[in-house]
Amino acid sequence: MKINENFLKIESSYLFSTVARKQREYQQAHPEADVIRLSIGDVTKPLAPVVIDAMHKAVDEMADEKTFRGYPPEYGYDFILDAILKHDYLDRGIELEKDEIFLSDGAKSDCGNIGDIFSVDNKIAVCDPVYPVYVDTNVMAGRSGDKNENGLWSNIIYMPCTAENHFTPDIPDEIPDVIYLCFPNNPTGAVATKQQLKKWVDFAVEHHSLILFDSAYEAFIVEDDIPKSIYEIDGAEKCAIEFRSFSKTAGFTGMRCGYTVVPKKLVFNGTSLNPLWARRQATKFNGVSYITQRAAEAVYTPEGQKQIKEILSYYQKNARVIYDGLKQAGFECYGGVNSPYVWLKTPDGYTSWEFFDELLEKCQVVGTPGSGFGPSGEGYFRLTSFGNAEKTVEAIERIKAAYKK
Ligand SMILES: *Cc1c(COP(=O)(O)O)cnc(C)c1O
């Protein structure tokens, strides 16, 4: 037996384990300190009451032979696919069909698994900094080449995203086969306008590249002119796959539900991608639990929409508090409007990790060093709005007290 040696190329990510270790060591040295974590990349509010009710009801159905359900349809029950199609697409003026939507256990799996349907010879492009899943899954598949001394992979095209380009990537010199885009972005909190996305769609159509669009944070978009879906852009149905998730939208990180859109018009070298993904999912995935699908359906009811908006606005207020407070303290910061993430520039002369240490030391606040998401994240720092509101206010007061001139 020979193993997949690509796995040996991947080092475990030190980012979150190092953050946790440094916090633990600080707490052990200062048992009295009230350390506040603004590093959380997970939701903390409980599920909406309508979601809980829908699950209770579904559990009762599963307890009765007359209403019990076994294996679900591979791509999702009609009731949830219809709700997604109507609410997320048709009502927003986007033409799609039900069999272009594939329900799944989340966007992380789909972003990682999608590579199954394209050749190992493709060259991918990613933003820098970036959500690590896109890169690591391509390393595992053998598409990355080797790592150089800067920690970059030789066969991956990196598109730096910094304050200079407003954290939206420029078209690279070399034409990629596959382009990963994520807006609103994790970690930078940046969004892309219609014109910016149009530029990418036109480029992909012209060069027969595939865009993989991660829209996991679309529910955080509050500004009218920011697209929630790549399919708001003309031509995207010919070049883009979209990933969505109930995780950040409705607090489903522990429930596991998302979906992927593969339009039938996506045709490369005469082959439509839609049946390939259908085949991949039917072979390697057996569907989302009935109870979870009923829970997701409840999110789309009028009451469900109202309840998730209240939860989202709780996080959005935290984001406001963080962003405004940092500005007052004199920091250059970004994001936080259509995103749960605030991305700040570390003070002159500080690396991301040096700022991490100082913030923990001076303010007992934990954030995430930008350099952990890629070399272009060096000199930046991520704070998240997923924490408790009072604690968030307290953390920002401490930062203002320490840094405001
Ligand atoms: C949180 C997140 C997701 C969602 O993943 P799930 O598997 O659906 O929980 C997807 N993409 C990015 C960039 C994320 O930060």
Which residue type, as a one-letter code, is found at position 399? I
248-302 confidence digits (pLDDT tens): 999 999 999 999 999 999 999 999 999 999 999 999 999 999 999 999 999 999 9
Gap between the Cα atoms of 378 and 384, Å rounded: 18
pLDDT of residue 344: 98
Residue 37 and residue 23 in contact, taking contact as beta carbons nearer than 8 Å: yes
pLDDT of residue 327: 97
**Bridge partner residues of 211 (DSSP):** 179, 240
Query: Ligand 1 pocket, 103 CB below 6 A?
Result: no
Residue 40: CB atoms within 10 Å: 16
Gap between the Cα atoms of 23 and 36, Å rounded: 10
Query: Ligand 1 pocket, 107 CB below 6 A?
Result: yes
Alpha-helical regions (H) of 142-254: 194-207, 246-250
Query: Ligand 1 pocket, 258 CB below 6 A?
Result: yes
Q: How far, in Å, is the centroid of ligand 1 from the Cα of 185?
A: 11
Residue 304 vs residues 245, 295, 296: alpha-carbon distances, Å: 16, 10, 9
Query: Ligand 1 pocket, 106 CB below 6 A?
Result: yes
Locate 298 and state its tokens: 């409840």
174-209 confidence digits (pLDDT tens): 999 999 999 999 999 999 999 999 999 999 999 999
pLDDT of residue 245: 98
Atom of ligand 1 nearest to the CA of 247: 9
| Helix pair angle (352-363, 389-403), 10° resolution | 100
Mutate to test the pocket of ligand 1, among 127, 217, 292, 343 (most ligand atoms within 8 A of CB): 217
> 273-280 — which CB contacts under 8 Å span 24+ positions?
273/117, 273/210, 273/241, 274/99, 274/100, 276/117, 277/102, 277/114, 277/117, 277/241, 278/74, 278/75, 278/99, 278/102, 280/113, 280/116, 280/117
Q: How far, in Å, is the centroid of ligand 1 from the Cα of 90?
A: 24
Locate 294 and state its tokens: 């009923």
Q: How far, in Å, is the centroid of ligand 1 from the Cα of 107?
A: 5
**pTM, to two decimals:** 0.97
Residue 373 and residue 379 in contact, taking contact as beta carbons nearer than 8 Å: no
Taking CA atoms only, the protein residue closest to ligand 1 atom 4 is 107
| Residue 315, phi then psi, degrees to nearest 5 | -65, -40
Residue 108 and residue 121 in contact, taking contact as beta carbons nearer than 8 Å: no
**Bridge partner residues of 381 (DSSP):** 344, 369
Locate 251 and state its tokens: 């607090």
Query: Ligand 1 pocket, 18 CB below 6 A?
Result: no
Query: Ligand 1 pocket, 319 CB below 6 A?
Result: no
CA 38 to chain centre: 17
Low-confidence ranges of the chain (pLDDT < 70): none
Locate 267 and state its tokens: 């045709």
3-state helix, strand, coil in the chain (%, to 5): 45, 15, 40
pLDDT of residue 40: 85
Taking CA atoms only, the protein residue closest to ligand 1 atom 15 is 186
Strand extents, DSSP E, 262-378: 267-268, 271-272, 333-335, 341-345, 365-366, 368-369
Cis bond upstream, residue 347 (ω within 30) = no
Atom of ligand 1 nearest to the CA of 258: 8
